[in-house]
Amino acid sequence: MPYIVGATAHGVKHVADVFHSENVFINHVPVALWLDPEGSEAAAYAAISAPTYSVESVTVLALEGETSADLSVASTQQALIEAGVISQAEVAAGNNAGANPNASDTAQGSGIIGVNTATVTVSGNVDETLLLSASQAASGIDYYVRTVTKQVSQTNRNGVIFPYDVATVAPANGYTAQEVCENLELLVKNCFDPIKAQYPKAFMTCSFRAAGRGSPSSQHPKGQACDIQFAGASKSDYFPIAQWIRDNVSFDQLILEYKTTGSGMPWIHVSYNKAGNRNQVFTFMNDRNCKAPGVTGLYDLSNA
Ligand SMILES: [Zn+2]
């Protein structure tokens, strides 16, 4: 999840998650509060539904690394500490939690074989593309590609949420809109929809995004990955949820991600790759593997 500059407290600038941030506004209404789909979402959609709207942009300072790019994440963290954006104490608390987890579960992923054939028909307006119809979805939901700033009604809300325009950003990322939409379809079909069916409060905070932001090998710019949070969930709820996903969902990478900065709320990164799933399970703290690069397993770091 991208970071942006958040509030200043005690003279120190803190980071906030883009999709939780009070800094992302449409018509001065915060649209980044997906943490509470049953509350703030209505205000966000009302703002987007307005005849005209303007979106304030945000500056991305650092991004999650889904791979073992540990050195670059470490240097970014150091730069953020030196800039006063995050604190040494926050990073130390995260490192300590990684060394002393509440619980450890090093079981491997289930290796469930997923669906690898995409059938998506990309709409002329890419942002209206239907990825999975309610009749085929375990959750009974219609899933559309939805660029968050282009959602113009309160119907068909469920989508693959991102602030990037697929039609233009996909080619800029080196992929066709068709490729990205196919990847999103398989991601929804194999990963997100089963999770949504089991946990109706699940919601995507980020999926497709522009390349060049974050890990070079990130699967987000291909439409192969999404980040998920759960409305009303506490920090400690994420560990058992990640265990359920590991045992019941087909995936390439499953990453339980904690942080001691910004909102402090965890999220779950899930990816799907039709070319072959590695079935990897990791736990990250502040964008780094909580143990060491390449160490697998789920660790409950909700005590951080
Ligand atoms: Zn992610």
Rounded to 10°, the helix 177-187/166-173 angle is: 100
pLDDT one-digit tens code per residue, 28-56: 444 443 333 344 445 555 555 555 544 44
Residue 132 · residue 192 · CB < 8 Å: no
Centre of ligand 1 to C-alpha 192, Å, is: 13
- Ligand 1 centroid vs 194 CA: distance in angstroms? 18
Compute, in angstroms, the gap from residue 112 CA to the centroid of ligand 1.
21
Verify that 119 and 215 share a domain, yes or no. Answer: yes
Radius of gyration of the chain (CA): 18
Residue 116 confidence (pLDDT): 95
Which residues have CB less than 5 Å away from ligand 1 (the ion)? 227, 269
Instruction: Report CA-CA distances (Å) from 132 to 118, 126, 142.
Output: 10, 14, 6
For residue 213, tell me if it sits in a domain: yes
52 within a domain of the structure (yes/no): no
pLDDT in tens, 200-249: 888 777 788 777 655 667 888 899 998 888 877 899 999 999 999 999 99
CATH number, domain with residue 78: 3.30.1380.10
pLDDT at 5 over 50: no
- E strand intervals along the chain: 3-9, 12-17, 25-26, 29-30, 103-105, 130-132, 143-147, 159-162, 202-206, 225-230, 253-258, 267-271, 280-285, 288-289, 298-300
65/29 same-domain check: no
pLDDT tens-place string over residues 135-173: 999 988 888 887 654 443 334 444 555 667 788 889 999
Structure tokens at 211: 């390349």
pLDDT, the chain, mean? 77
69 and 26 both lie in a single domain: no
CA of 225 to the centre of ligand 1 (A): 6
DSSP 73: H
- Domain containing 129 equals 59-300
Tell me, in angstroms, the distance from the centre of ligand 1 to residue 148's CA.
17
Asked if residue 296 and residue 238 are part of one domain, the reply reads: yes
- Report if residue 35 sits inside a domain: yes
Same domain for 266 and 197: yes
**pLDDT, tens digit, for every residue of 54-91?**
444 333 434 444 454 677 778 778 877 887 767 899 89
Q: 63 C-alpha vs ligand 1 centroid, how far in Å? A: 9
Q: Are residues 168 and 43 in the same domain?
A: no
Query: Do residue 119 and residue 27 come from a single domain?
Result: no
CA 261 / ligand 1 centre spacing (Å): 16
Q: Looking at the 3D structure of the chain, how many domains does it have?
A: 2
Distance from the first to the final alpha carbon of the chain: 18
Query: What pTM does this model have?
Result: 0.81
The verdict on residue 230 lying in a domain is: yes
